[in-house]
Structure 1
Amino acid sequence: MASPSSNPTAAQSWQDVCSDPSLHDLPYKIETNARGQIVMSPTHLKHGAFQSEIAGLLREQMPTGRVVTEAAVETEDGIKAADVAWFSSTRWKQVHDDYAASIAPEICVEVLSPANTDAEMQTRRALYFEAGADEVWLCDEEGALSFYTADGLLESSHRVPSFPSTVSL
């Protein structure tokens, strides 16, 4: 299987999407699929509030490294945007100039929306792990978090053991 970074078409396609002025300021999360087609998902205020809360807590608990929202990650199925991501300082130095990270951040967080399915989230977790993530966190619509490694569900995050299992708005 080819690594995502070995596919210059995916990176160039994502750079084109990011540079397209007609796509700026849309109220949608934009990603691409493996064919380079744009995929848009509507978001709502609660989604953004959970995203912001998780980012703030991560920044407090992981002061070394970089917290990024809407972090574009190259995967085998196109560019996926993690709602919140944490990069170690070392990994951040590798990708900070990229339009999309050629290696996933160590922690990728997805805030679920009503349209998300279990199958979609299983696939997304697998894509992030294949791209190099250590953990993938899911935040449900009530703020409950679940933490995963490639081996499966965890009781709590291994990277941030003190991170709460629920975030409040």
Structure 2
Amino acid sequence: MDAPYLLDSNGLLAAWRRLSAHAEFGQGERYELDEWGVPVANACPSARRQIVLTDIFCQVTEQIGHLAAMSVAVTTPSFGIRVPDVVWMPCDRWEDFDRDDPVPFVPDLCVEVLLDSDRAHDLDRRVTSYLEGGAREVIVVGRHGQIEIWGVKGSRQASMFGVALSPDRMYFEQGEIAAAPGARC
């Protein structure tokens, strides 16, 4: 039996277009493609998760500009076509590709929100592939609202873009979070 092979960006794009054309798959952004072009289903986000995603999107646009987007498919070099929760990049990077297709590279900033998401199991690969694909920074909002910031040199204490996310704690599970001194949950 032939071993599966990794698809190049053209192969991934062709597989994405086939996937998007099928009515049973509904909206393309609910699926991703792994590095072999195999569809990976993502559950529809709950109302709670959608509220948090919208809040994070609004915070990014307020802090670094309106060139952010939610649930945009991006082409990674090692993990297929993935759909980060929020992406941001400068205006000139939005201009040079067909915006009906997945972004052919990874935007400068990617944000993943793990609230009621099944992405935690592949988070390390996801973060690595975003950074390998051109992201300058990846921000992860954990299941309990904690913020992790990653760059090509590893974990960071602060965003290189000056983004300081503060998700509303009422939407997160509080059981395992230690509140910062003076913070109210």
Task: Indicate the TM-score class for this superposition, using the shorter chain for normalisation.
Answer: 0.7 to 0.9
> How far is 1:145 from its partner?
1.7
Cα deviation for residue 105 of structure 1 reads: 0.7
- Tell me how far apart the structure 2 counterparts of residues 140 and 69 of structure 1 sit (CA, whole Å): 18
CA deviation map 1:49-76 (0-9, x unaligned) = 211111011111122x511111111112
Q: Greater relative contact order: 1 or 2 (C-alpha under 8 angstroms, separation 6 or more)? A: 1
TM-score, with length taken from structure 1 = 0.84
Paired with 2:72 and 2:27, the residues of 1 have a C-alpha distance of 16
Normalising by structure 2, what TM-score? 0.77
Q: Any unmatched runs of 5+ in structure 1?
A: none
Mapped to 2, the partners of 1:130 and 1:114 lie a distance apart of 23
- Provide the residue aligned with 1:57 in structure 2: 59
Alignment-mate amino acid for residue 126 of structure 1:
T
Checking the alignment, whether the CA contact within 8 Å between 1:95 and 1:103 is kept in structure 2 is no
Aligned residues with identical type, % of pairs: 21
The alpha-carbon deviation at position 46 of structure 1 amounts to 2.3
The code of the aligned residue for 1:167 comes to: P
What root-mean-square deviation, in Å, do the aligned CA atoms of Structure 1 and Structure 2 show?
Answer: 2.2
Regions of 4+ moved over 4 Å: none
CA spacing shift, 1:38–1:151, aligned 2, 3 Å: same
Q: Which amino acid aligns with 2:118?
A: A
Structure 1 residues 122 and 38 mapped into 2: Cα distance closer, same or farther (>3 Å)?
same
CA distance in 1 between partners of 2:117 and 2:32 (Å): 18
Measure, in 2, the Cα distance between the counterparts of 1:144 and 1:36. Answer: 32
| Among 142, 145, 154, the residue aligned to 1:143 | 145
SS in 2 for 1:95: coil
Q: Where do 1:21-32 residues align within 5 Å?
A: 21-25=23-27, 29-32=30-33
Equivalent position SS for 2:30? strand
Task: Give the number of aligned pairs.
Answer: 160
Secondary structure at the residue paired with 1:136? strand
Higher share in strand: 1
